[in-house]
Amino acid sequence: MNMPTPSASAEYQTPNFTDFNKAVVAQLHQDIEALFQHIELPSPLKEACQYAMMGGGKRVRPLLVASSFVSVNQQRTDYYVSG
């Protein structure tokens, strides 16, 4: 995920919420698209799953998880996030 991360020598500053939200949503879209490229589902089921996962109201939970992760791991720069 292309979220702002702390440098080893600088004090960590909380990223701007708008930028953080955009980064989380962009990564989420990228991950969902990658998932659907690697699975085989019958046509009506695949479209239904994509619709259910890509809906605009589905962003709060992933954003809360990403926010919690970053807040707990503020001092770490070696974590792995999707890719």
pLDDT digits (tens, 9 = 90+) for 20-33: 888 888 888 888 88
Residue 42 confidence (pLDDT): 92
Q: Is this prediction's pTM over 0.75?
A: no
Residue 81 confidence (pLDDT): 53
Residue 5 domain-assigned (yes or no): no
Residue 4 confidence (pLDDT): 53
Q: Using CA atoms, how far apart are residues 19 and 3, in angstroms rounded to an integer?
A: 8
Which residue stretches of the chain have pLDDT < 50? 6-9, 83
Residue 59 domain-assigned (yes or no): yes
How many structural domains is the chain composed of? 1
Residue 64 domain-assigned (yes or no): yes
Residue 2 domain-assigned (yes or no): no
Residue 54 domain-assigned (yes or no): yes
In which domain, by residue range, is 66 found? 17-70
Residue 9 confidence (pLDDT): 46
**CB-based contact 17:51 (threshold 8 Å):** no
